[in-house]
């Protein structure tokens, strides 16, 4: 009894029992078209039946008598007294285990992009299909187009098919078969190092590398690896509906750094301009008759371009509702208005359509 107790402590594997889902190693002892027999040592004989052979046919082709294999137990003692095995499931489980290790170590690695869809890029990690959402692309590869322009987004993603990207695993769910990877997470550390060379308030030279509905991407002339973003609200003191009205791709511009956070640089064009609202009283006053062109509609009314610097607005209540407003005003057309009031601190010029 003492010897058995000591043996159990020093070699517990001898007394361990098999369970469904366990991974085991074995040696091929017989290979046929309907079944593969495997020597599992003290655990007896394992068998891989025809269906599982088909699922792992590429692996099976390479196996010979004496080949070592890695398999997953799907039944402990079947009707024929064998331990029933799966080769394909073992491969998947092993691959998910390796993916989990990579994620746990927060390792960055390279994948080859094999496809795309409207939501992002498709790759493979350890043989497991992986998805890289558009939102997880690094700034260098992010589609720099308006979000509604699906054809342009698809074209931008298609250009990345066949390329290799540095990524990290950010979500892995074997049960759901979901594996999400991120290029942005993998490049964040290097981005943080690069932006250390810049400070808030600094004026930089840049080249417009992309225009989206939310803003403008700018590559720095002194280091094209660094890219900043000018939010649409920082393009001008005027309301800008379409950033393409202000800049175009490949334009050379100067911009001011207004924020640096998490390796990202925020830029501003309007910060380099004199605030026109400081002198608005020199040009517009209550009761003044003005001419303006309708620029855009919003839920509160219409934005009117009065000149190259100032915009006014007509509140929707002036017409009794949005539909009625659009009967009186059309985008791009010019009308006569009366200035109702000027509020420099709120940056507003309220207008009324001249009767």
- Domains in the chain (CATH in brackets) are 21-92 (2.40.50.140), 106-188 (2.40.50.140), 197-272 (2.40.50.140), 278-353 (2.40.50.140)
CA distance 207 to 250: 6
β-bridge partners, 169: 181
pTM of the entire structure? 0.56
Give the single-character DSSP code of 43.
G
Alpha-carbon distances, residue 186 vs 34, 136, 155 (angstroms): 46, 10, 24
Of 39, 26, 22, 12, nearest to 97 (Cα)? 22
**The predicted structure's pLDDT at residue 149:** 66
* Token reading at 257: 């750094």
| Chain length of the chain | 355
Of 228, 215, 221, which is closest to residue 140 (Cα–Cα)? 228
State residue 139's pLDDT score. 78
Distance between CA 210 and CA 247 in Å, rounded? Answer: 10
In this prediction, residue 271 carries a pLDDT of 95
| Alpha carbon distance 115, 126 (integer Å) | 17
Q: At 231, give phi and psi (nearest 5°).
A: -65, 150
Q: Round to whole Å and give the CA distance between 247 and 143.
A: 17
CA-to-CA dists, residue 298 to 122, 215, 295, 323, angstroms: 38, 19, 10, 12
Instruction: Give pLDDT < 70 ranges for the chain.
Output: 1-16, 90-91, 145-149, 189
What would the pLDDT profile of 93-145 be if each residue is shown by its tens digit? 777 888 888 888 888 889 999 999 988 999 998 888 999 999 899 877 888 76
Looking up tokens 């202000």 gives 246
Question: What is the distance of C-alpha 191 from the center of its chain?
Answer: 16
Angle at alpha carbon of residue 242, lines to 321 and 120, rounded to 5°: 110
pLDDT (0 to 100) of residue 3: 39
Beta pairing class for 264-268 and 227-231:
parallel
Task: Decide: 237 and 273 in contact? Cβ < 8 Å.
Answer: yes
Q: Find, among 311, 318, 304, 313, the residue nearest to 283 by Cα.
A: 311
Q: Do the strands 83-86 and 45-49 form a parallel or antiparallel pair, or are they unpaired?
A: parallel
* pLDDT attached to residue 70: 81
CA-CA distance, 244 to 254, in Å (whole number)? 17
What is the three-class DSSP state of 252? strand
What is residue 146's predicted lDDT score, i.e. its pLDDT? 62
């Amino acid at each position: 009894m003492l010897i058995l107790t000591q043996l159990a402590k020093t070699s517990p594997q001898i007394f361990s029992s098999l369970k469904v889902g366990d991974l085991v190693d074995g040696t091929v002892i017989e290979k046929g078209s309907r079944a593969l027999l495997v020597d599992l040592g003290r655990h007896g004989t394992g068998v891989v039946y025809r269906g599982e052979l088909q699922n792992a046919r590429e692996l099976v082709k390479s196996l010979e008598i004496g080949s070592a294999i890695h398999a997953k137990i799907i039944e402990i003692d079947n009707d024929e007294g064998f331990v029933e095995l799966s080769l394909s499931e073992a491969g998947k489980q092993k691959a998910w285990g390796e993916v989990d290790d990579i994620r746990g170590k927060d390792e960055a690695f390279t994948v080859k992009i094999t496809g795309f869809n409207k939501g992002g890029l498709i790759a493979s990690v350890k043989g497991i299909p992986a998805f890289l959402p558009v939102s997880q692309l690094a700034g260098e590869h992010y589609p720099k187009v308006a979000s509604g322009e699906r054809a342009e987004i698809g074209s931008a993603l298609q250009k990345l098919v066949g390329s290799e990207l540095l990524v990290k695993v950010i979500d892995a769910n074997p049960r759901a078969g979901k594996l999400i990877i991120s290029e942005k997470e993998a490049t964040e550390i290097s981005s943080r190092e690069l932006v250390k060379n810049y400070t808030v308030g600094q004026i930089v030279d840049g080249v417009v590398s992309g225009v989206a509905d939310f803003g403008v991407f700018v590559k720095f002339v002194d280091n094209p690896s660094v890219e900043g973003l000018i939010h649409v609200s920082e393009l001008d003191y005027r309301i800008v509906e379409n950033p393409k009205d202000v800049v175009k791709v490949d334009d050379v511009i100067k911009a001011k750094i207004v924020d640096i956070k998490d390796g990202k640089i925020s830029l501003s064009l309007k910060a380099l301009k004199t605030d026109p609202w400081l002198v608005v009283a020199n040009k517009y006053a209550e009761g003044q008759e003005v001419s303006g062109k309708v620029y855009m509609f919003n839920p509160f009314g219409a934005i009117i371009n009065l000149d190259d610097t100032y915009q006014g607005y007509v509140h929707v209540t002036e017409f009794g509702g949005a539909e009625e407003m659009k009967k009186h005003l059309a985008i791009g057309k010019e009308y006569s208005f009366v200035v109702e009031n000027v509020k420099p601190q709120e940056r507003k010029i309220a207008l009324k359509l001249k009767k």
